[in-house]
């Protein structure tokens, strides 16, 4: 049987694969697994019930899924603080800030509106390691916690959730944003109520797009997966830069004053160099995933900064940050973790610090982003194939052939997606035509060798 948890929680079509019943059972299983630590035991010893923060993005399906999760937790003896619609990194922060024993975020991040997902945060607001997710999955068919009377959990509105998070964000800033004009694309998602406010509070003049969520338009033609609207608006209003979030605001991509895209790798390069200059980049090391552009590694080498690579997924970046005591890491997609301030990718935090570097240096975002050369990178998603058979002889031979052809002037990466039913083929080369040709060649081999 395939694993229920993917790269970032449990995702699927809401009311399709991801039903209210599954949400309820996941909540009950998480209550059994995530309250076995010393913090929850201390609460019980003091006569208090364990506590969880629950939040969601604006998807309409989030309403019934949040109700199911809250019911599963309360019926298991967990008190629930319902934070309503807030970004995923806000939920993670609040778990630590309260502090709560764990948290649950209802979101499918950058996925379209019909999808949804359930993410769990452990004590301290960290994402769960694979072994803990496996324990939750194993508990789905076991005996639930069934307290009665006073042992049943209470569900309360978390009234000051947004205010706590905004104060936290503003407290991290190394430099105010006075004089900057910033366009913010909220993706019709969870950033709408917070990101424009915090940028304005930091001193920026703010123009906002993608800030009219109706439960169905999240990520629809706006946000970090659809940057054309932001690019056009930045040029139209003459802004210094634009910031794009995804549906749950754990990502940040940017646009410079010319409308050119600045991706997660470039953002990491800018922040890494700034932090190194100010003595804040621990052990002169940046953590990135295997999907990061070759140009990032080469740029960091030129400045004496080491790059440690991890599997795809910001929780794996976080694990490496924690293990090595590093301060900065992230993904090309815009999941950036500044571990001094956050336990997960935080798109608003990242955008604030990127804008602050523009304000601090007086240099344009385009000039700052020129610190690295972006190698042409082609990503092909191959659907309708068996993701468990990537070790097929024909596929491995084609992969080896492409690696020989690229040599040191590029690279190829093949992996199953952790969030979608596809195999991802990524090729980097010195020119886009070569990268496209090799990626398409490998994708065709996969389609022919391992069809479903």
**Domain range holding 171?**
164-369
pLDDT for position 181: 98
CB atoms inside a 10 Å sphere around CB 394 = 12
Same domain, 351 and 404: no
Whether the Cβ atoms of residue 103 and residue 126 lie closer than 8 Å to each other: no
pLDDT in tens, 233-270: 999 999 999 999 999 999 999 999 999 999 999 999 99
pLDDT for position 305: 98
Quote the CA–CA distance of 382 and 149 in Å, as a whole number.
Answer: 52
Residue 119 within a domain: yes
| Residue where a domain stops, chosen among 317, 345, 369 | 369
Residue 269 within a domain: yes
| Residue where a domain stops, chosen among 138, 159, 180 | 159
| Number of folded domains that form the chain | 3
Quote the CA–CA distance of 4 and 120 in Å, as a whole number.
Answer: 13
**94-99: which pairs have CB atoms within 8 A and are 24 or more residues apart?**
94/53, 94/55, 94/125, 94/158, 94/161, 94/164, 94/165, 95/53, 95/121, 95/122, 95/123, 95/124, 95/125, 96/124, 96/125, 96/343, 97/164, 97/168, 98/51, 98/53, 99/39, 99/123, 99/124
Same domain, 183 and 275: yes
Same domain, 440 and 298: no
**DSSP 8-state class, residue 213:** -
Residue 4 within a domain: no
Residue 137 within a domain: yes
Residue 333 within a domain: yes
Same domain, 325 and 213: yes
pLDDT for position 419: 66
pLDDT for position 41: 75
Quote the CA–CA distance of 337 and 342 in Å, as a whole number.
Answer: 6
Whether the Cβ atoms of residue 303 and residue 270 lie closer than 8 Å to each other: no
CA distances from 109 to 38, 228, 232 (A): 31, 19, 24
Quote the CA–CA distance of 213 and 220 in Å, as a whole number.
Answer: 10
| Residue where a domain stops, chosen among 140, 159, 178 | 159
pLDDT for position 2: 67
Same domain, 195 and 242: yes
Same domain, 69 and 85: yes
Same domain, 282 and 418: no
* Residue tagged active-site, from 109, 195, 224, 292: 109
237: domain CATH number? 3.40.120.10
Same domain, 169 and 127: no
Q: Note if 437 is an active site residue.
A: no
pLDDT in tens, 267-287: 999 999 999 999 999 999 999
pLDDT for position 1: 47
416: domain CATH number? 3.30.310.50
pLDDT in tens, 379-426: 999 999 998 899 999 999 999 999 999 988 889 999 998 767 899 999
Same domain, 304 and 331: yes
Whether the Cβ atoms of residue 187 and residue 244 lie closer than 8 Å to each other: yes
Flag residues of the chain having pLDDT under 70: 1-2, 40, 419
- How is 352-368 classified by DSSP, letter by letter? HHHHHHHHHH---HHHH
> What is the pTM (predicted TM-score) of this model?
0.90
Which residue carries 């599997």 as its tokens? 311
310 phi, psi to nearest 5 deg: -130, 175
Residue 63 within a domain: yes
Residue 274 within a domain: yes
Same domain, 259 and 355: yes
Quote the CA–CA distance of 182 and 199 in Å, as a whole number.
Answer: 8
CB atoms inside a 10 Å sphere around CB 236 = 11
Query: In the chain, what's the furthest Cα-to-Cα distance?
Result: 69
Same domain, 275 and 400: no
Residue 3 within a domain: no
Same domain, 117 and 236: no
pLDDT for position 420: 78
């Amino acid at each position: 049987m395939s694993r229920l948890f993917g790269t970032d929680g449990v995702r699927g079509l809401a009311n399709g694969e991801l039903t209210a019943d599954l949400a309820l059972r996941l909540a009950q299983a998480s209550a059994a697994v995530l309250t076995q630590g010393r913090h929850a035991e201390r609460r019980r010893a003091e006569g208090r019930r364990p506590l969880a923060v629950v939040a969601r993005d604006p998807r309409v399906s989030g309403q019934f899924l949040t109700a199911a999760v809250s019911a599963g937790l309360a019926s298991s003896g967990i008190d629930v603080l319902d934070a309503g619609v807030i970004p995923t990194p806000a939920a993670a922060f609040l778990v630590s800030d309260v502090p709560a024993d764990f948290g649950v975020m209802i979101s499918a991040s950058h996925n379209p509106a019909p999808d949804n997902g359930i993410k769990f945060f452990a004590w301290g607001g960290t994402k769960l390691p694979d072994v803990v997710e496996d324990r939750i999955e194993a508990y789905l068919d076991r005996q639930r916690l069934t307290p009665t009377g006073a042992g049943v959990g209470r569900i309360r509105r978390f009234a000051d959730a947004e205010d706590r998070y905004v104060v936290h964000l503003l407290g991290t800033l190394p430099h105010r944003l006075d004089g900057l004009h910033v366009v913010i694309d909220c993706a019709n998602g969870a950033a709408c109520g917070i990101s424009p406010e915090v940028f304005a509070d930091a001193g920026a003049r703010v123009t906002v797009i993608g800030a009219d969520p109706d439960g169905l338009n999240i990520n629809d033609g706006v946000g970090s997966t659809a940057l054309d609207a932001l690019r056009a608006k930045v040029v139209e209003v003459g802004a210094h830069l634009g910031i794009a979030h995804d549906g749950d605001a754990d990502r940040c991509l940017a646009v410079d004053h010319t409308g050119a895209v600045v991706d997660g790798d470039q953002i990491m390069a800018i922040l890494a160099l700034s932090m190194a200059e100010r003595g804040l980049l621990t052990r002169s090391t940046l953590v990135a995933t295997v999907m990061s552009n070759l140009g990032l590694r080469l740029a960091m080498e030129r400045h004496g900064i080491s790059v440690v690579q991890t599997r795809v997924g910001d929780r794996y970046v976080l694990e490496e940050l924690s293990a090595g005591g590093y301060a900065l890491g992230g993904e090309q997609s815009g999941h950036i973790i500044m571990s001094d301030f956050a336990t997960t990718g935080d798109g608003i935090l990242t955008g604030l610090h990127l804008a602050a570097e523009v304000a601090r240096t007086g240099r344009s975002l385009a000039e700052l982003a020129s610190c690295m050369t972006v190698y042409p990178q082609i990503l092909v998603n191959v659907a309708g194939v068996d993701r468990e058979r990537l070790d097929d002889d024909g596929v491995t031979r084609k992969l080896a052939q492409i690696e020989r052809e690229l040599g040191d002037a590029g690279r190829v990466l093949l992996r199953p997606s952790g969030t979608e039913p596809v195999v991802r083929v990524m090729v980097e080369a010195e020119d886009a035509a070569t990268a496209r040709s090799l990626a398409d060649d490998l994708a065709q081999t996969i389609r022919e060798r391992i069809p479903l």
